[in-house]
C-alpha cells in the first residue's frame, strides 16, 4: 500500500515512493483516490487489531492447558 504524506515543497498530499534510495513525492490530485487510500488504511488497522486480539486469545488458550 502506498504511503501518503505531505509534500515538503508544496504542502499538498502526495504518495511517497522510494526509487533507488531516492525518495520522490507524487501528487494526489484525485480526492476519491485520497479517500480510498484512507479507507484502506483504516481497514488494515482494524484487521491488525483483530489479529492481535486473536493472537492474545490463542496465547491464553495455549497457556491454560
Per-residue pLDDT of the chain (65 residues; tens, 9 = 90+): 568 888 888 888 788 888 888 988 888 777 767 788 889 999 999 999 999 999 999 999 998 86
Residue spans of the domains in the chain: they are 3-63
C-alpha cell at 27: 501528487
End-to-end Cα, the chain, rounded Å: 39
- pTM to 2 decimal places: 0.48
pLDDT for the residue 65: 67
Q: Round the CA-based radius of gyration of the chain to a whole number and report it.
A: 18
Judge contact between 24 and 35, C-beta under 8 A.
no
Q: What is the pLDDT of residue 2?
A: 67
Neighbours of 15 (CB within 10 A): 18
Amino acid at each position: 500500500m502506498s504511503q501518503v504524506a505531505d509534500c515538503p515543497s508544496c504542502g499538498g498530499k502526495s504518495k511517497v515512493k522510494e526509487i533507488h534510495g531516492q525518495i520522490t513525492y507524487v501528487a494526489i490530485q484525485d480526492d476519491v483516490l485520497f479517500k480510498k487510500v484512507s479507507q484502506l488504511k483504516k481497514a488494515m488497522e482494524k484487521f491488525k487489531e483483530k489479529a492481535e486480539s486473536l493472537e492474545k486469545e490463542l496465547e491464553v488458550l495455549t497457556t491454560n492447558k
